[in-house]
Chains A and B, each alone.
Chain A
């Protein structure tokens, strides 16, 4: 076993533009989107017929038949078929967790290169048979005689035809993620205005990233879509102010504008050891330095469902001897504008930092100009599994262009989870 670890280089990534639910990708499967994304990465880094250490990818909404989706996808690309692959899932943290897993294997010397990816479709979603019907069908399957089969078949009722469609609800609270975020917004006294301002900034930053060409080699057109479908370059607080609240009741502050829409898409990032990168003449954009996950008790302690990153980041900072202000870029996943604002308020709050996080001082403030500088999920959309890859690839490029510095990634996820990471520019 290897006692020392190696630095993990991020060489770059690609993604397809993110589409809104039932938009241009309505008939595209998760596998179609991942395969297309991997193909674009293969072209970008000349990986044709390359045997990589592994490809790790995942999505949240998957058909049960797609248990080996990533492997099947790899077999459909120009990668050497000897490249192993596996699927993983950690809700909205899936994409970043994939990168962390691949990075850890590289750091330990178990592999030299790998692709971390993610995907999700909310359009081509799995639909399951009604639970009652499923029980009947299983009983028929178990039956040994025709008479018993007929008896079981007789239990089928018309209402059992109604299928089970996946819901965006927390199993243990029954509340949708938006309702949870509305509770957080209320707890922290987040105003509608703050949320709408953050949303406008997200759209403007993403629009600028397209206009300046920053995204030219990061986003590859798919099925006729060239830019993220959700992007509204002309978004304004005046326009957003007209929207009705969708979460938190009539007096709620959360709208379809300052919440991410259901979307479809995929992303992938190439990671490698420095030696592998040098051997393949691929420049290092950034290093994935460290990562930390955390979870909150949203069930019994009634903590904010999406507050887990507030726990993860202090641990990450302490382990790396850093403070919250030591970063040039902050990539905080905009599941909802309110989630980002709650996170920032929590880190500034002496009460939260001491009572919840067990720190002896507040974590501090961040410079708002360094937050999601190339747009966030509010503008781009948020195909659950694909967001981590979008962020890692974008941050790696931003650090490369900056020439120095550090970036912090913070992603909240269903189930009270949070996935965070630190990246550093290649010197």
Chain B
């Protein structure tokens, strides 16, 4: 599981050597620990004139008690004042060279045509090199589909290319994200902005998330334990990423119901026992598995609030050499089981209002991978399921989303041949592999009752991998 190269280049001598000979220099990413502030450094808030999101962003920054700076521009200063932010003034022409920010947040929703994309340059040009260690670059925009004119849509779509490039330029563990906020969804950004500002999103970069309007709001939520009083079922919870998911959901206040196959029962009991949760032991591909799960949840907990479809397997072989069982088992576990469980839970109304379905897809499902035709097909199918079910699920007041992990340091990746492993680790903007907790944190953000505006999204946890972008 350990990344010896990263440990080496972070020693004093390793730093000098790697710099001298130009090796990649992955920094140790900051990760969230309970009780930490959302962000532990100054935030620079900017906005293109005429935007509609600076006020919402300012409200979030006030809510997390961030130290906020803004340029001396009337729009953004007014937004800050309305939010009750005692924002400091930042003028790049006068600021000392060593002044840095933990995050740059820019409301680009005012950009109405391509000529106004100049605002991106004007704001980020003098500031992008001031982004500190494990820093954050966050651009807020309007989904192209919500734009009134083709020119506005083109300009808003341009933000994607911009943000993905910034993600590749920023250094020292910094990340860049684009958040498209739909019309009337301005009040839904808090959960997402908190996630992307915080160390919880350490290994997420270059992502585009869409927030839509929803009737539910996050008023009264305890951001330290957003899942308090909620029941969360996690499949494949006994080890690896599933275990990390169970732990993070429990940390966030959820009662975790861990599910795994009989062969892993003792590991499951140990993991979930520590968290004070409950367990379901069964094989999700069994014919009666969906019904037994639904019955269990309804009988014991009156239903469930969060369903995390994490259970999955790989049975790699190139297609011509792949036997039927490898093909069938991967599709059955990774995709069909998720579909059947979802259908059963929805049909029996076992998922409570403001419930969440979170699926685990994979980078392979997006980019494809030699030797993984079965696995990639299943994981791409998961994305298709999420996208196609979002409408129906949304009408029921629920959401369905997926994470797509990239190279995550697990027992599975530790067993890879060194060349493949090193390529997987380094070929991303952060030049390192992610940790299971990075996937778990992303799932916890989707699972939060305050994330109701995010539906039908696929977010990669891949350090902005070069593959499959």
Contacts and interface: CB of A to CB of B under 8 A. Distances in A.
A356 B86 CA distance: 8
A351 B91 contact: no
A189 B81 contact: no
B97 interface: yes
Contact of B96 (A190, A251, A349, A356): A251
Task: Please provide the 7 A-B residue pairs with the shortest distance between their CB atoms, ordered closest to farther.
Answer: A189-B91, A350-B81, A355-B86, A189-B94, A354-B81, A350-B78, A351-B81
B49 to A, nearest CB: 15
Interface in B67-125: 70, 72, 74, 77-78, 80-82, 84-91, 93-97
Interface residues of B, number: 21
A349 B71 CA distance: 11
A186 B93 CA distance: 11
A345 interface: yes
B81 A345 contact: no
Contact of B89 (A349, A353, A355): A349
Nearest to A190: B94
Given A189-B91, A350-B78, A350-B80, 11 more contacts: A188-B89, A189-B90, A191-B91, A191-B93, A192-B94, A253-B94, A349-B77, A350-B82, A351-B86, A353-B81, A356-B86
Contact of A345 (B72, B84, B87): B72
Interface string A305-342: 00000000000000000000000000000000000000
A343 to B, nearest CB: 14
B71 to A, nearest CB: 8
Given A355-B84, A355-B86, A186 B94 contact: yes
B80 A351 contact: yes
Nearest to A193: B93
Contacts of A185: 94
A351 B87 contact: yes
A251 B97 contact: yes
Contacts of B81: 350-351, 353-355
Contacts of B74: 350
Contacts of B96: 186, 251
11 contacts: A188-B91, A189-B94, A189-B95, A251-B96, A350-B77, A350-B78, A351-B77, A351-B86, A355-B85, A355-B86, A356-B86
Interface string B8-32: 0000000000000000000000000
Contact of A189 (B72, B82, B85, B97): B72
Contacts of A191: 91, 93-94
A194 B93 CA distance: 11
Nearest to A188: B89
A241 to B, nearest CB: 14
Nearest to A359: B81
Interface in A230-254: 251, 253
Nearest to B78: A350
Interface in B153-202: none
Nearest to B93: A191
A22 B76 CA distance: 49
Interface string B114-153: 0000000000000000000000000000000000000000
A191 B95 CA distance: 9
Contacts of A211: none
A83 to B, nearest CB: 50
Interface size class of A (residues with CB under 8 A): 10 to 19
A187 interface: yes
Contacts of A188: 72, 89, 91
A182 to B, nearest CB: 11
A276 B155 CA distance: 72
A345 B80 contact: no
Interface in A174-189: 185-189
Specify which of B84, B88, B89 lies most central, judged by the most chain A CB atoms within 10 Å of its CB.
B89
Nearest to A356: B86
Specify which of A185, A188, A192, A356 lies most central, judged by the most chain B CB atoms within 10 Å of its CB.
A188
Nearest to B77: A350
A315 B72 CA distance: 24
A253 B93 CA distance: 11
A19 B194 CA distance: 59
A419 to B, nearest CB: 25
Contacts of A351: 70, 77, 80-81, 85-87
A351 B88 CA distance: 9
Nearest to A351: B81
Contacts of B91: 188-191
Contacts of A251: 96-97
A190 B86 CA distance: 18
Nearest to A250: B96
A218 B87 CA distance: 44
Contacts of B80: 350-351
A253 B95 CA distance: 10
Contacts of A190: 91, 94
Contacts of A355: 81, 84-86
A296 to B, nearest CB: 14
B408 to A, nearest CB: 43
Interface string A1-28: 0000000000000000000000000000
A348 to B, nearest CB: 8
Contacts of B89: 187-189, 345, 349
B374 to A, nearest CB: 57
Interface string B38-75: 00000000000000000000000000000000101010
Specify which of A191, A253, A349 lies most central, judged by the most chain B CB atoms within 10 Å of its CB.
A349
Specify which of A189, A251, A253 lies most central, judged by the most chain B CB atoms within 10 Å of its CB.
A189
A347 B84 CA distance: 17
Contact of B72 (A349, A353, A356): A349
Specify which of B86, B88, B91, B94 lies most central, judged by the most chain A CB atoms within 10 Å of its CB.
B94
A188 B87 CA distance: 11
A353 B78 CA distance: 10
Nearest to B90: A189
Specify which of A185, A190, A350, A355 lies most central, judged by the most chain B CB atoms within 10 Å of its CB.
A350
A375 B258 CA distance: 78
